[in-house]
């Protein structure tokens, strides 16, 4: 069934596709579990996916949240479209943020740790095939290790809200194919292409799985069904999509149960993201601090003893001082 769908929308012949439109992965995109981790973030993520352990990526929305995640010891990060839209624009996830908004935010995060993979939301790819290709190019230049492209209409919304609409399978595959071909056209590029479908809530799980099987056949590296509602459905998804790695998205109060990393790993998922963990925590903490300041007239309670130097240490003060010292500078010798 999937092969018939693929053949009916087979692309023009390219180096990495068979005559029936099935993608043949180049050797530089294939890795084994025993390889030493590479310094390049996208290559490192591919190596991590080849290992037995699940990849855990907390959602970060800005430089401070990324610093906190790195301090906690996470080896992969996730940039949520919802969190980026909220943090940068103060707006809901309703297709308001633009490609430059996402790329600028990603650049801030990737520059904090060059070898730590950042998985980034790319919404619908922001347009037709040419725009999807541009999205891949700009994400790659920003140092993003992986991006996911979905099958919602351009006027999309958060995947955990009601009223979603999706495009046809053919249009979805056009987006994925455009992303894969754009990646392959960049010398040495191995950014991970993740196919995301929001069709489970619209067309049912069977159709969602069929879409991701077709996406994998045209070159998607990882499969992502938004809103997997039960343990059994996640296990069914993993089994149906093997050997394609499956990503699961956990949002407290969202469509997917609050699986732990261990539970997701036992069910066969290869990546688990916690999209809004930092953004929601920030809302709670900032809201509490503002109400306390309004009520008490002081920020003493919310500061919890953190003075300016301690705050700047969270965001890399000691690193900057060391850069200055090693270069022979003296301006930061006393600070």
DSSP states of 163-208 as a string?
---B--HHHHHHHHHHHHHHHHHSTT--PEEEEEE-THHHH-HHHH
Q: What is the chain's mean pLDDT, rounded?
A: 93
- The Cα–Cα gap between 169 and 184 comes to 22
98 within a domain of the structure (yes/no): yes
The answer to the question of residue 149 being in a domain is yes
pLDDT of the residue at 163: 84
Would residue 19 count as lying in a domain? no
Phi, psi of 103 (to 5 degrees): -65, -45
Mean local confidence (pLDDT), 61-81 = 98
Residue 252 placed within a domain: yes
Does the annotation mark 121 as catalytic? yes
Q: What is the pLDDT of residues 251-288, one digit of tens each?
A: 988 878 889 999 999 999 999 999 999 999 999 999 99
Question: What is the C-alpha to C-alpha distance for residues 116 and 132, in angstroms, rounded to an integer?
Answer: 24
Helical packing angle, 129-141 and 169-185, nearest 10°: 40
Residue 183: pLDDT over 80: yes
Does residue 93 carry a catalytic annotation? yes
Within this chain, do residues 157 and 70 fall inside the same structural domain, yes or no? yes
Q: Is 78 a catalytic residue?
A: yes
Model pLDDT, residue 3: 42
- Indicate which residue of 158, 184, 198, 211 is catalytic: 158
230 and 316 housed in the same domain: no
pLDDT of residue 154 exceeding 50, the answer is yes
Neighbours of 232 (CB within 10 A): 10
Question: Which helix H or strand E contains 156, and what residues bound it?
Answer: none
Percent of the chain with pLDDT over 90: 84
Catalytic hit among 17, 76, 105, 121: 121
Nearest to 238 by CA among 260, 213, 218, 207: 213
Tell me, yes or no, if 34 is annotated catalytic. no
Distance between CA atoms of residues 197 and 115, nearest Å: 28
User: What's the pLDDT tens digit per position in 292-308?
Assistant: 999 999 987 788 889 99
The verdict on residue 2 lying in a domain is no
Statement to judge: residues 315 and 250 lie in one domain: no
Averaged pLDDT, 83-112: 97
235 lies in which domain range?
A: 26-282
Same structural domain, 194 and 327: no
304: annotated active-site residue = no
In this structure, the answer to whether residues 265 and 192 fall within a common structural domain is yes
**Of the listed 93, 184, 190, 198, which one is catalytic?**
93
296 lies in some domain: no
Residue 14 resides in a domain: no
The question of whether 226 is a catalytic residue gets the answer yes
Q: Tell me, what DSSP letter sits at residue 252?
A: T
Q: Is the same domain home to 96 and 187?
A: yes
Report the CATH number that the domain containing residue 235 is assigned in CATH: 3.20.20.60
pLDDT at 116: 99
pLDDT at 10: 45
Please indicate, yes or no, whether residues 215 and 79 belong to a single structural domain of this protein.
Answer: yes
How many domains would you assign to the chain? 2
**Would the pLDDT of 125 be above 90?**
yes
> 235 and 321, same structural domain?
no
Based on the fold, state whether residues 69 and 138 are members of the same structural domain.
yes
pLDDT of residue 324: 94
> Is there a single domain that holds both residue 216 and residue 326?
no
Residue 287 lies in a domain: no
Q: Are residues 329 and 182 in the same domain?
A: no
Neighbours of 9 (CB within 10 A): 17
**pLDDT at position 14:** 57
d(CA 281, CA 31): 36
Catalytic residue among 123, 140, 151, 198: 123
Same domain, 177 and 320: no
Q: Is residue 4 over pLDDT 50? A: no
């Amino acid at each position: 069934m999937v092969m018939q769908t693929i053949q009916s929308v087979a692309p023009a012949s390219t180096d990495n596709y068979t005559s029936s439109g099935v993608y043949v992965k180049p050797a530089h995109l294939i890795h084994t579990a025993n390889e030493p981790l590479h310094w390049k973030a996208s290559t490192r993520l591919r190596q991590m996916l080849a290992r037995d352990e699940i990849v855990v990526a907390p959602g970060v929305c800005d430089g401070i949240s990324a610093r906190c995640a790195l301090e906690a010891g996470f080896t992969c990060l996730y940039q949520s479209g919802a969190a980026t839209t909220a943090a940068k624009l103060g707006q809901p996830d309703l297709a308001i943020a633009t490609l430059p908004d996402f790329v600028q935010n990603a650049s801030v995060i990737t520059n904090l740790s060059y070898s730590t993979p950042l998985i980034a939301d790319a919404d619908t790819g922001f347009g037709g095939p040419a725009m999807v290709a541009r999205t891949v190019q700009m994400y790659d230049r920003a140092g993003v290790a992986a991006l996911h492209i979905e099958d919602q209409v351009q006027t999309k919304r958060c995947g955990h809200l009601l009223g979603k609409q999706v495009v046809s399978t053919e249009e979805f595959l056009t987006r994925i194919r455009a992303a894969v071909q754009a990646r392959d056209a960049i010398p040495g590029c191995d950014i991970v292409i993740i196919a995301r479908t929001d069709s489970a809530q619209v067309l049912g799980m069977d159709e969602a799985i069929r879409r991701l099987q077709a996406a994998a056949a045209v070159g998607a590296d990882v499969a992502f069904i938004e809103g997997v509602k039960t343990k059994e459905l996640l296990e069914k998804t993993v089994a149906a999509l093997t050997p394609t790695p499956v990503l699961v998205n956990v949002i407290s109060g969202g469509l997917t149960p609050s699986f732990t990393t261990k539970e997701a790993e036992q069910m066969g998922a290869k990546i688990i993201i916690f999209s809004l963990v930092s953004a929601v925590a920030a809302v709670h903490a900032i809201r509490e601090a503002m109400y306390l300041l309004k009520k008490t007239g002081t920020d003493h309670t919310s500061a919890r003893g953190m003075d300016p130097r301690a705050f700047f240490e969270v965001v890399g003060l000691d690193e900057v001082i060391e850069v200055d010292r090693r270069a022979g500078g003296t301006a930061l010798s006393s600070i």
